[in-house]
Chains A and B, each alone.
Chain A
Amino acid sequence: MTTDSVVACRGVSKRFAREQSLRNMFRRRGEGDWTHALRSVDLLLAPGETLGLVGRNGAGKSTLLKMIAGLIEADSGSIAIGGADPVADPMAARRDMGFVLSNERSFFWRISVEENLRFFARLQQIPHGDIAEECVYLLDAVGLANSAKRIYKDLSEGLRQRLAIARGLLGDPALLLMDEATLHLDPGSRTQLTPLFRSRRNGDPRSLLMVSHDLEEVQQVCDRLVCLENGAVWRDGPLASEIDIVRTHLHQPAGGGS
């Protein structure tokens, strides 16, 4: 599994400096001046595996996802996407990777849905001749075919989220990273879109790493569940055996023990 892993995180740690008050600005930072976001995280994702990454607020889920995408650099440990380091060799790491951001501000508000998707298709290096077909296919697949000409700012949050999903699926990536990707979707839409997350267009299973707060959604989409707690992996195993333990844990107040 190690050599075949699509994503391989080994001993990944990350801490962030806290904002210092003016009074302490010139004081050397002590241990209390740091927030430990991740503590020696090991995570392997096999080809075709669908993994739900859950945890409380501030557990380190989005930080780990952004590190896998190469947006944040690890303090220690290593990350490899298909064997490539996402910071040192981002182009190789992103060759077959899609990322669905939950941030609705990550699009250009004054241009149309179609223009937005075409723009990102170009940046995802989709061949020039295939862009129109790709965009028509994806807009139809996520239920935005009738909204293609609408200006992005005029869309509802749910429709914006659908566009973010379409963007993540550009080029039919073998690996899909999703950060709270279905946050604004109604349950029916989630059911409709789930097959897109799990399978590539030729029917092959897609590797999926999904950060979510919604265990129902994770249950619907994923085979494996990883729960982070205070920046470390607390549970990691098949969804069927982990889901009840994790659900009970997450329903307890923070700091309530497990």
Chain B
Amino acid sequence: MRILWSFIRKDALTFVSYRFHMMMVLWGMALMIGHFFFLGRVVGGGSENVLANWGGDYFPFAVLGIAFAQYFDFALNGLSGQLRQGQTLGTLEALLVTRTPPLLILLGLVAFQFLFTTAMAMTYIASGVVTAGLSISFSAVALTLLLLLFTLGAFVGFGMMSASFILVFKKGEPIAMVFQGLSYLLSGVYYPVSILPHWMQGLAQLLPLTHATRAVRIIWLQHGGLMDLLPSLAWLAAFAVVFIPVGMLTFRKALGAARRQGSLAQF
């Protein structure tokens, strides 16, 4: 735990040292919330039928989708981005020759980013609470945390595959690019999956983000309980069971290949 805390402290100090960047990140998030707030007013009337299952109001629908899409972005790009940064900045080699196990180093690399993502997701959900009357309850928070666990499990395998690519090929990572584009198109982050053509709806079921966004809306917009979440959780668990071992195996192979090529710290 202390090692993870050291990574978090180091990254937090680095983050706040770029004051202008920090302000721009916060500004960008505020703009995003404002953007969807007013977009919700414009499309509110016309979208009521489409969003009838989700309370009829576009703004909370969108911010809940965006909040969980943050975790998707984090899981997919967090580790690969940090590895790439470690390669280009030159710190990766120095970390890997320490007496800390590589797995702990990988967790440390993304620890601050995870907390930052959580802060962003909470801000998005809070904006829904404040402006659209989403009600906070103990069960909603507890179920969201449970869902987060399953969601990260479903996403992390893809993130490890993406990081594996960066370790070996350094740049031009295709997994995140393709997977992210498809997920944002089909998974119902900005609009319900139900408005897609049938065949696209079928395809959307094969993407974990679809089940994560559906589940978070069941919790917050339909006040659903654990039983209502079970189908989504089952899908997310299935993704985790298949892709975590694949991701770990790929990463181990990639690490071995980079060691053999002598290219761990190259970029």
Do they bind each other? Answer: yes
**Interface residue ranges, A against B (CB under 8 Å):** 14, 16-17, 37, 63, 66, 69-73, 75, 87, 90-91, 94-95, 99, 101, 103, 105-111, 115, 118-120, 122-125, 128, 151, 167
Interface-centre pick from B13, B99, B260 (highest chain A CB count, 10 A)? B99
- Please state if A110 and B14 are interface contacts (CB–CB under 8 Å): yes
- Please state if B262 and A111 are interface contacts (CB–CB under 8 Å): no
- Please state if A91 and B18 are interface contacts (CB–CB under 8 Å): no
6 closest Cβ pairs, A-B complex: A105-B90, A106-B94, A123-B98, A110-B17, A73-B259, A122-B6
- Nearest CB of A to B246, in Å: 23
B100: chain A residues within 8 A (beta carbon): 123-125
- Please state if A120 and B98 are interface contacts (CB–CB under 8 Å): yes
Give A30 to B222 CA distance when docked, in angstroms.
Answer: 64
Q: CB of B101 within 8 A of chain A?
A: yes
Give the contacting residue for A122; candidates B3, B102, B260, B264; CB below 8 A. B3
- Nearest CB of B to A105, in Å: 3
Q: Which residue of A lies closest to B13 (CB)?
A: A111
Give the contacting residue for A14; candidates B7, B17, B262, B264; CB below 8 A. B262
Q: CB of B139 within 8 A of chain A?
A: no
B265: chain A residues within 8 A (beta carbon): 71
Give A66 to B98 CA distance when docked, in angstroms.
Answer: 13
Give the contacting residue for B99; candidates A63, A73, A95; CB below 8 A. A95
B99: chain A residues within 8 A (beta carbon): 91, 94-95, 123-125
- Please state if B262 and A66 are interface contacts (CB–CB under 8 Å): yes
Size class of the B contact interface (CB-based, 8 Å)? 20 to 34
- Nearest CB of B to A22, in Å: 15
- Given A111-B17, A123-B95, A73 and B260 contact (CB-CB distance below 8 Å): yes
Give A90 to B91 CA distance when docked, in angstroms.
Answer: 18
A87: chain B residues within 8 A (beta carbon): 259
- Please state if B90 and A106 are interface contacts (CB–CB under 8 Å): yes
A91: chain B residues within 8 A (beta carbon): 99, 101
Q: Which residue of B lies closest to A123 (CB)?
A: B98
- Please state if A120 and B94 are interface contacts (CB–CB under 8 Å): yes
- Please state if A101 and B18 are interface contacts (CB–CB under 8 Å): no
- Given A71-B264, A111-B10, A103 and B90 contact (CB-CB distance below 8 Å): yes
B17: chain A residues within 8 A (beta carbon): 110-111, 151
Q: CB of B256 within 8 A of chain A?
A: yes
Give A124 to B89 CA distance when docked, in angstroms.
Answer: 20
Interface-centre pick from A75, A123, A151 (highest chain B CB count, 10 A)? A123
Pick 13 A–B contacts, CB within 8 A, sort by A. A70-B259, A73-B259, A99-B97, A103-B90, A103-B94, A105-B89, A106-B94, A107-B91, A110-B14, A111-B14, A115-B9, A119-B9, A123-B95
Interface string of B240-267 (1 = CB under 8 A from A): 0000000000000000100111101100
Q: Which residue of A lies closest to B15 (CB)?
A: A110
Q: CB of B93 within 8 A of chain A?
A: yes
A66: chain B residues within 8 A (beta carbon): 262
Give A110 to B9 CA distance when docked, in angstroms.
Answer: 12
